[in-house]
Structure 1
Amino acid sequence: MDLHTAGNAVPSLDGTDLGDALDDLTGIHAGLDLIRDGIRLLALDRHDLNTTQVLVAALAGSPDATDVIGAVGMLVARLTSPDSNPCLRTLPLDQQKETALHGEHAAFDLTNPDLRNSASNANAAIDGH
């Protein structure tokens, strides 16, 4: 049975929330453009069940936050710390501390194992569990 028919095509991102979000991220920084292009590729590529499960886990389903969402949280903490982002050292000390604290909170939230439950459940559902 040929699955590669017009009726079985991967739908476009045009007019979707994901497509709109990716468009809104265009041109902010070359690194974000690469991430945006990667997300677009992942969304539009044809996947098998195994690859789908691996991608869901790698994006947001790892219980120890070794996934894309966890990496983003750790990046936010790095960008908001004057120890790792020298431009923040030009801010007054209280402002540096507040910025770093909020970045640490973002990392805590984005690496929280509870955040991954839905992605893990989606993987289990693919397996029929």
Structure 2
Amino acid sequence: MATVDSYGPVHTAGNAVPPLDDDLAGALEDLAGVHEGIDLIRDGIRLLADDLHTTDSTQTLLATLAGSAGADVITAIGHLVARLANADHNPALRALPLDVQKATLLRGEQAAHHLLDTRLHQSASEASAAITGT
């Protein structure tokens, strides 16, 4: 049996990581060129999707991406949305009328509230735990 680094035995070509499905590939394509930071995120998502993982690294990634409310990527994005929508933290919004600033702040806070809701993270947490049966 051939092995691939520390990922264990690979006994068939079927163990190769398949190409991205149309949904994920399309979502990544739709995000192209928005901002350099988004391009880095796209590259990271593509790397994670195309990489060969162990069960342990898969479990960790599921928790880190969305399954550990308060300490995962979705949480970080929620906080970033709130920050970008706040004129106190985003000088680009300061020239807007005060009512627009307030509406933007409110919507950013609402988005963060939903993204930080533990129920949003529950399924990914359960998927991570299911790998080891915990």
Question: Which residue is equivalent to 2:100?
Answer: 95
Q: Secondary structure at the match of 2:94?
A: helix
**Structure 1: distance between partners of 2:12 and 2:40:** 30
Q: Deviations over 1:54-77 (max 9, x none)?
A: 1111100113x2110010010000
Q: Aligned match of 1:127 in 113, 123, 132?
A: 132
Read off the aligned partner of 2:93 and give its amino acid letter: L
- My pick for the range that moved more, 15-24 or 32-41, is 15-24
Measured in 1, the distance between the counterparts of 2:11 and 2:52 equals: 9
- Count of aligned pairs between the two proteins: 127
2:109 is matched with which residue: 70, 80, 104? 104
**Correspondence 1:60 to 2:63:** no
Corresponding residue number in structure 1 for 2:19: 12
Distance 2:12 2:30 in 1: 31
Alpha-carbon distance between aligned partners in 2 of 1:74 and 1:103, rounded to the nearest angstrom: 9
Q: With structure 1 as the length reference, what TM-score do the two structures score?
A: 0.93
Q: What is the RMSD of the two structures over their aligned residues, measured on CA atoms? A: 1.2
Q: Which amino acid aligns with 2:118?
A: P
List gaps (5 residues or longer) in structure 2: 2-8
- TM-score, scaled to structure 2: 0.90
Unaligned segments of structure 1, at least 5 residues: none
Residue 31 of structure 2 corresponds to residue 30 of structure 1: no
Partner deviation per Cα, 1:29-66 (whole Å, 9 max, x = no partner) = 00000000000000000000110011111100113x21
Instruction: Report the CA distance between 1:5 and its aligned residue.
Output: 3.6
Instruction: Give 1:125 shift.
Output: 1.1
The one-letter code matched in structure 2 to 1:9 is: A
Check if 1:21 corresponds to 2:27: yes
Code of the residue aligned with 1:44 in structure 2: it is D
For residue 90 of structure 1, give the secondary structure of its aligned residue in structure 2: coil
Q: 1:32 to 1:4 in 2, by over 3 A?
A: farther
Give the CA deviation at 1:128.
2.0
Q: Which amino acid aligns with 1:12?
A: P
Alignment-derived partner of residue 48 in structure 1: 54
Percent of aligned pairs sharing the same letter: 61
Q: Following the alignment from structure 2 to structure 1, what is the Cα–Cα distance between the partners of residues 87 and 14? A: 52
1:118 and 2:114 correspond? no
Q: Which residue of 1 aligns with 2:82?
A: 77
SS in 2 for 1:54: helix
1:108 is displaced (CA, Å) by: 0.6
